[in-house]
Amino acid sequence: MKKRITIVLALILSITLLLFTAKIVDAIANPDSITLHTVRVYQNIFEDDDMLFIISYDVAYGSEPSEPAEDTFQMSIFSVNATSLIQSRALNDYQYNVHSIYFDADDASSLTWGSDYVVRVMGNPVFFTPTEDVTMDSKTLSESWSWTTGTAEESRDLLKVYCISLAEDLELSDDWTTLIVSTPDREVLNSTGRIVFLAAIPGLDSVVSNLFQLASYASDVTKQTVTAILEEELTVKNQLGASISGAFDGIGVFFNVSGNTASMMWALLFILVVASIIFLNSNNPTAALVLSVPIIILTVAAGAVPMAALFTGAVILIVYMGYHIWLRGM
């Protein structure tokens, strides 16, 4: 009994799937026409020895299907005589457009430059019955001009020229408006052209930035390592010895601060005492400030006070003296 129930359920499931699939296939009509216009292959675009297939096509519909093109159509590259699929990529859109398939250097090493590969724009077999000139169109790369090689700079310059040519072809169709704008130096893609070609060739602006009216650049910032050899050498341990440094570490433990902070506190206290003694005996704040400078220099040389403090003190002294002299001059 259980076996019969299992068989019945399996039949119901199979029929449901068949009906569901048939419904999907019937939901999308064949295109009014399907054409693979041009194919060019470029080398050394994003990295040495890579391959970039640039394809223009037209999957024409009087009224575009509601299903996205990426689900219903794809661009594929097959081996010689189309015996096996090498790589495919879903289409971005219907109608007259541009597309690409990219092989990095590792993947391109399995391809043979100049071979008669077959490029095909085709409907997804889930939705369409593959039929040449009805739901798919193929082109064999038999002409030598389809293969464009050179140094990275040469290939990118040729690709830039070709992209402008493709944009001009798109403009002549009924599917696009203006994609190109003229500048004093050259023709470039405008904001609409930028969207179209970056969707077709992701990352194109990173290697052929002068193709676009609006270009983005990735800044290559080299981090600089700053060495402060003198400051690193001016420590209490290096200048006065490990025993004195250890004594300051002990004082720091008592006050819950580091040994460096303890030595700096001692140095500042010593400077304050010297400046106070001078001021109390001379009643001259300028003399107290000026005569404290040698003490500050000695504490910096001993490693007790950071060198930055010396420069800060020097700036304050210069400003103070300038202000004092200016007042006396008035």
Q: What is the tens place of the pLDDT at every residue in 130-176?
A: 999 999 999 999 888 899 989 999 999 999 999 999 999 999 988 88
The more confidently predicted of residues 2 and 118 is: 118
Q: What are the start-end ranges of the H helices in the chain?
A: 2-27, 69-72, 105-108, 152-172, 191-200, 204-207, 229-233, 236-240, 242-255, 259-282, 285-301, 307-329
* Res. 321: pLDDT tops 70: no
In terms of Cα–Cα distance, which of 51, 31, 50 is closest to 39? Answer: 51
pLDDT at 22: 44
pLDDT at 324: 64
Give the mean model confidence (pLDDT) for residues 192-221: 83
pLDDT at 286: 67
Taking CA atoms, 79 is separated from 85, 107, 119, in Å, by 6, 14, 9
pLDDT one-digit tens code per residue, 40-57? 999 999 999 999 999 999
pLDDT at 236: 63
Distance CA 324, CA 33 (A): 91
* Res. 63: pLDDT tops 80: yes
* Res. 120: pLDDT tops 60: yes
pLDDT at 325: 67
SS3 182: strand
Beta bridge partners of 101: 53
pLDDT at 241: 67
Give the mean pLDDT of the chain.
80
pLDDT one-digit tens code per residue, 98-115? 999 999 999 999 999 999
* Res. 322: pLDDT tops 80: no
Q: At 80, is the pLDDT very low, low, confident or very high (cuts 50, 70, 90)?
A: very high
* Res. 256: pLDDT tops 90: no
* Res. 233: pLDDT tops 70: no
* Res. 34: pLDDT tops 90: yes
pLDDT at 293: 72
* Res. 19: pLDDT tops 50: no
Global confidence as pTM: 0.59
pLDDT at 308: 65
Q: At 251, is the pLDDT very low, low, confident or very high (cuts 50, 70, 90)?
A: confident
The more confidently predicted of residues 260 and 15 is: 260
CATH topology assigned to domain 27-211? Immunoglobulin-like (2.60.40)
3-state secondary structure 39-69: EEEEECCCCCCCEEEEEEEEEECCCCCCCCH
Could you give the residue range(s) of every CATH 2.60.40.150 domain in the chain?
A: 27-211
pLDDT at 302: 65
Percent of the chain scored above 90 by pLDDT?
50
Q: Which residues contact 324 (CB under 8 A, 6 or more apart)?
A: 286
pLDDT at 221: 55
Percent of the chain scored above 70 by pLDDT?
67
Give the mean model confidence (pLDDT) for residues 240-267: 69
